[in-house]
């Protein structure tokens, strides 16, 4: 959606590799995620803008789901 909003066609070989860590801190478990995004053919500034917008949208969606 973030790319479509900017009228940018994502490269066919786009990829997102995800790394998830299970953390234990003072008896409480948590998850930490890292997303490694590859958008070949797009300049760095454009790619970072798309990723930042997607991240903002995911935070908003997560907050809506988490709110009772």
How do residues 34-62 score in pLDDT, each as one tens digit? Answer: 889 999 999 999 999 999 988 887 765 55
In the chain, how many domains are there? 1
Average of pLDDT values for 14-39?
A: 92
Give me the phi and psi of 33, to 5 degrees please: -120, 140
How far apart, in whole angstroms, are the C-alpha atoms of residue 67 and residue 38? 32
Domain carrying residue 28: 2-66
pLDDT at 38: 94
pLDDT averaged over every residue in the chain: 85
Name the maximum alpha-carbon separation found in the chain.
46
pLDDT at 1: 80
pLDDT at 60: 58
pLDDT at 64: 54
Q: Which residue has the tokens 């009772």?
A: 68
pLDDT at 45: 94
């Amino acid at each position: 959606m973030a790319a479509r909003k900017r009228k940018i066609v994502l490269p066919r070989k786009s990829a997102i590799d995800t790394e998830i860590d299970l953390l234990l801190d003072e008896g409480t478990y948590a998850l930490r995620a890292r997303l490694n995004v590859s958008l070949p053919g797009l300049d760095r500034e454009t790619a970072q803008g798309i990723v930042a917008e997607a991240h903002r949208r995911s935070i908003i969606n997560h907050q809506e789901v988490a709110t009772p």
